[in-house]
Amino acid sequence: MDALTTDRVPDESGSLADIAAPNAIPQDLWPQQLDTGWQCVSTPAGACASPADLPAQGWLAAQVPGTVASARRAAGLLDAANPPPLAFDDHWYRLTLTGTGTRRLRLHGLATLAEVWLDGIMRLTSDSMFIAHDLDIDLHGSATLALCFRSLTPALGAKRSRARWRPRLVTPSTLRNVRTTLLGHMPGWCPSVQAVGPWRPIEMLSDAPHAFDTIDLTSRLEDEDGVVSLTLRFAHPHDVDTCDASLNCGGVVSSLQWRDAYTLTGTVRVPHAERWWPHTHGEPTLYPLALQLDDGRAISQSLGRIGFRSIEVDRGVDDAGFALRINGTPVFCRGACWTSADLVTLTGTEAQLRHAFALARDAGMNMLRVGGTMVYESDTFYSLADEYGLLVWQDFALANFDYPNDAAFSASIEREATQFLTRTRRFASLAVLCGGSEVDQQAAMFGLPASMRVQPLFTEQLPAIATRERSDVPYVSNSPSGGAWPFSTNERITHYYGVGAYQRPLDDVRRSQVRFAAECLAFANVPDDATLHDALGTIHLHDPRWKAAVPRDLGAGWDFDDVRDHYLQTLYGVEPARLRYEDPERYLDLSRAVVAELMGDVFAEWRRAGSTCGGALVWQFQDLRPGAGWGLIDATGRPKSALHGLAHTLQPIQLVMTDEGLNGLDIHLLNERAQPLLAQLELVCLRDGSVKVASASRAVELAPHSTQRIGAAGFLGQFFDFTHAYRFGPRAHDVTIATLRDPASGRIVSEAVHLPERRADVRHDLGLTVGAERNADGWQLIIEAKRFARFVHIIDTHYCAAHDWFHLPPNRPCVVPLLPVERFVARASNAVFKADATCEAPAGEVGAINAISATFYG
């Protein structure tokens, strides 16, 4: 085989080479990626029994790792809106191998019923897309490697134990028998792009003398020290008497020992190791690792980076809660449920992942959940989570079903779970392991008693594997679980859709006493106009393309447009159907605003001082197709109003307000940092959005990792009907603004707004002015208003606002950096944007939902 270049960067797909990019050294130690030169062809199911029967025509160039869908997309042959049922045909891949001698192939993931052929002889079969395989082959010059991906139809009809319930989410229900992702098989909310092909890398181990076979790295804390353990297996035997080896962790070096001619083991202890933290609570410190070999030639090889942290579950004083303590410190976990950076490839590029992780971090999120309906993500995903300081809640790839309990299925799960945990053992970000998604809930909602819905898969097998392979990560059997019903909101882990799908009023958030919401909210979040025009091709709300992208529960007489409309009517006092046809642009703006408001209010309640909620994850992080999906970012990579709404509420240093009715307003100050916070707290109430009718100011101090509640009534020192609960005459004000400032610079650290009346049927001349300026970093807008501006938003063809959908107090200029659209679009160039004279000047409009009209600039 051709030698692998030594300056190769890591791929994004979950192979050994993901761990670290190799240094320039005499030999390549990493497996060779067989990623080019592939072709694929599709045939009717069963048409070709072997490679000898394959047609001569119709082959497409194919990238590996990749899928049949990605090969067709590259060739311009995929209609992602109406994809063919790829899982029910056969598909063949082929590649010519060259070389001599015995070599080892490593196939990291084949979706889903696969055969591996070499020179017309079947050498391996696989019935799980989540299992990696090794295959030793002999090469004598050249050979043809062929992969066949068979139709799922026979497996779906195979006889297995009778299911006690059949969920409506997935089609067909017999997918319970097959170890494949449910993505592409959930028509209510996921495009039917089905996973077929070599979706994970295919490698050939290097024939270099020091070539790596497997690397197993773990980290742990012992008192104040960090300890790294390494077990490294080489592809070829070594002379253990002449080859010395050591491991370097952040400058601390320790000798390694030869277990046998193939295997090095050992540990290195880092005294007083700095902890890895989620970025909201500290620095996600990672230590560089390097392997040093000396058999007469000194070789130093990077093994990537590793972190040290501890994780514990806090059940609360009543033993009914669920919260995480990281390094002994309580952490409120907030974020969203991950879907996929690219549904077609199931992986996405490193640039796409970095873009998504940066949006999550900057919005104040510190956790992403990879649910059981998705796939296990690549090593690059978990490595970036380490880097960005984002915790990962990881379901095993199991959801909704009453799974088979035969020996073959159990053996497959054993191998799948063990391989995943071994592969991800090095990552500090892995924070929770969960048996599956909504399995107990499905059984309970079908009326089964607790004794009939238990599955040993979740209560015995998976926890035993988790304890064996990653004892440092807490395990929970299911999400949701706990309580008289598995989905009870006031115990352990729930999926909270009270505000959202169930259309409950906002006070339900407190009444439900959520302890940890592994899923929550779910709205049909409207993207910006650019996405609606460019990607969806319409903003007409009765266009079939619009409705096709709106998520719905199969069999329900409503969809999530209807859910959003409910809150438009109850919170904003507008009649959605009438507004939709009389003023569709206004309807869309209010739709964007109301979800931003709901997101902020719900998380303010869960984060307030005295709340027993340990965390909440929004359903979902990103859309799988353009349109008003559940995603906080749209399918092109642009953030939606919902993400901006969350960003105003999820920061590590945060001020939020809660409406306490007759008790007025409570101001909650949160400091998640390890340093104390000295700040100036200001409170002002305005009439007509501009006239000050009440105000107060005082210095406040917050201890590290603390919350503080301040009653607005006591803060003001006199009676004022903040919430208009007493109704002694007309309202004296229409907005209360609480501001936390740095006392030295006057910089605003955090701000919150309360509206005693949320109606959106009155608009004013706000005196809104906008100016565009250019500085060394690019363009920015200076926005100012004479009256309070509600949900200011920016529309620009070529730029996205760094922060958007925010409230603007009067007579206070606000600087909003503008970022080129290319930095937000998922499939844009990976090149980093640099401001230069060729950048097009911004031109657009700034609106607010209480403004009579927009203000144009440029």
Closest CA to 435 of 410, 459, 405: 459
pLDDT at position 544 is 80
Please check whether residue 838 lies inside any domain of the structure: yes
Residue 471's CATH number: 3.20.20.80
Question: Does 576 share its domain with 450?
Answer: yes
User: Which residues lie across from 685 on neighbouring strands?
Assistant: 694, 736
Between the CA atoms of 18, 19, 20 and 21, what dihedral angle is there, to the nearest 10 degrees?
Answer: -20
What is the C-alpha to C-alpha distance for residues 396 and 415, in angstroms, rounded to an integer? 12
Q: Please say which residue of 590, 620, 646 terminates a domain.
A: 646
Residues 171 and 259 in one domain: no
Q: What's 227's domain CATH number?
A: 2.60.40.10
Length reported for the chain? 858
Q: Which of 726, 754, 782 is the last residue of a domain?
A: 754
Based on the structure, what is the number of domains in the chain? 5
Q: What is residue 750's predicted lDDT score, i.e. its pLDDT?
A: 98
Same domain for 108 and 159, yes or no, is yes
Are 172 and 156 in contact by the 8 Å Cβ rule? The answer is yes
CA separation, residue 52 to residues 118, 169, 280, 510, 557 (Å): 12, 40, 58, 66, 51
Distance CA 360, CA 682 (A): 29
Phi, psi of 223 (to 5 degrees): 55, -120
Can you tell me which residue has the tokens 């006591």? Answer: 714
* CATH number of the domain residue 821 falls in: 2.60.40
Tokens of 177: 């028998």
Identify whether 699 is part of a domain.
yes
Q: Which residue has the tokens 């979902």?
A: 620
Establish if 722 belongs to a structural domain.
Answer: yes
Query: What local confidence, expressed as pLDDT, does residue 16 receive?
Result: 54
Strand intervals (E) in 636-786 = 653-659, 665-671, 677-687, 691-702, 706-711, 735-741, 748-754, 769-775, 778-784
Same domain for 612 and 520: yes
pLDDT recorded at residue 835 = 40
pLDDT at 295: 85
Mean pLDDT by 10 residues, the chain (858 residues): 28 48 55 96 97 97 97 94 94 96 96 98 98 96 97 91 87 93 92 96 92 96 97 94 95 97 97 98 98 88 97 95 98 98 94 96 98 97 98 97 94 98 98 95 88 93 98 97 90 96 96 97 93 71 82 86 96 95 94 98 97 97 94 94 98 97 96 97 97 96 97 92 90 96 96 97 95 93 98 94 97 95 63 48 96 96
- State whether 640 and 667 are in the same domain: no
Burial call 592-608: b when 16+ CB within 10 Å, e when fewer? bbbbbbbbbbbbbbbbb
Residues 6+ apart with CB under 8 A from 185: 87, 170, 171, 172, 175, 192, 194
Task: Give CA separation, 200 vs 52, 70, 73, in Å.
Answer: 26, 13, 18
Residue 508 parent element (H or E) = helix 508-511
CA distance 432 to 774: 45
Whether 848 and 781 map to the same domain: the answer is yes
Inside any domain, residue 759: no
Q: Which two tokens stand for residue 712?
A: 């607005």
Do 36 and 75 share a structural domain?
A: yes
Is 578 in a helix, a strand, or coil?
A: helix
In a domain, 326, yes or no: yes
- What is the gyration radius of the CA atoms in the chain, in angstroms? 28
Determine the pLDDT at residue 829: 46
What letter does residue 52 receive in the DSSP assignment? G
Q: Do both 59 and 126 map to the same domain?
A: yes
Tokens of 33: 């990626």
416: containing domain: 311-527+567-646
Indicate the residue among 154, 170, 204 that finishes a domain.
Answer: 204
Indicate whether 546 belongs to any domain. no
| Phi, psi values for residue 708, rounded to 5° | -145, 135
Do 221 and 200 lie in a common domain? no
Whether the CB-CB separation of 224 and 156 falls below 8 Å is answered with no
Query: What pLDDT does residue 72 have?
Result: 97
Q: Is residue 187 part of a domain?
A: yes
Tell me, what DSSP letter sits at residue 482?
Answer: -
The token duo for 645 is 């709404």
> Looking at the structure, do residues 667 and 790 belong to the same domain, yes or no?
no
Task: Report the run of H or E that residue 111 belongs to, with start and end.
Answer: none
Q: Is residue 556 part of a domain?
A: no
CB atoms within 10 A of CB 223: 7
The verdict on 580 and 443 lying in the same domain is: yes
Same domain, 283 and 299: yes
CATH number of the structural domain spanning residue 21: 2.60.120.260
